[in-house]
């Protein structure tokens, strides 16, 4: 158990809908990262927050947004969902914003299915 929690574990929705994925980082970790992993694909970095502030952006679509709250939990919002958004969404956390030298601890993921 990495100490990172993600809810829900599974999510099934329809095209055009909006969903919110939630992540609670490990106790003491200030950085939260979001990744997308499509079937048998690699990890696509979406976005990183550090202590409530956006730190880095990756290949995040404009239909997607995220935020990190004062209690350090984070939410990833996906809107106008398309079939191609079906994927595993992982949250990871680390102590600092460096990402390296500071291990990223991954949550169990949220499996999103868009029908």
Where do contacts with other proteins occur on this chain (CB under 8 A)? 2, 4, 40-43, 45, 48, 56, 58, 90, 92, 97-101, 103-109
d(C-alpha 72, C-alpha 3), whole Å = 14
Inter-residue contact 37 to 88 (CB < 8 Å): yes
The residue (of 46 and 81) whose beta carbon lies closer to other proteins is 46
In the complex, minimum distance from the CB of residue 65 to other proteins, in angstroms, rounded to a whole number: 19
The CB-of-67 to other proteins minimum distance in angstroms stands at 19
Residue 53: closest CA among 81, 77, 80, 74: 74
Cβ contact 90:74 at 8 Å? no
Q: How far is the CB of 25 from other proteins (least distance, A)?
A: 13
- Our CB check for other proteins shows the closer of 80 and 103 to be 103
Nearer to other proteins, 1 or 62 (CB): 1
Give burial (CB, 10 Å; 0-12/13-18/19+) of 70. Answer: exposed
């Amino acid at each position: 158990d990495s100490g990172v929690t993600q809810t829900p574990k599974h999510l099934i929705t329809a095209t055009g809908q909006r969903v919110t994925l939630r992540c609670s980082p490990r106790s003491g970790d200030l950085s939260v990262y979001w990744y997308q992993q499509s079937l048998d694909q690699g990890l696509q970095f979406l976005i990183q927050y550090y202590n409530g502030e956006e730190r880095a952006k990756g290949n995040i679509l404009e239909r997607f947004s995220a935020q990190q709250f004062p209690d350090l939990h984070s939410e990833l919002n996906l809107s106008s969902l398309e079939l191609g958004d079906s994927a595993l969404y992982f949250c990871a956390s680390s102590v600092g914003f460096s990402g390296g030298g500071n291990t990223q601890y991954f949550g169990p993921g949220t499996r999103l299915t868009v029908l």
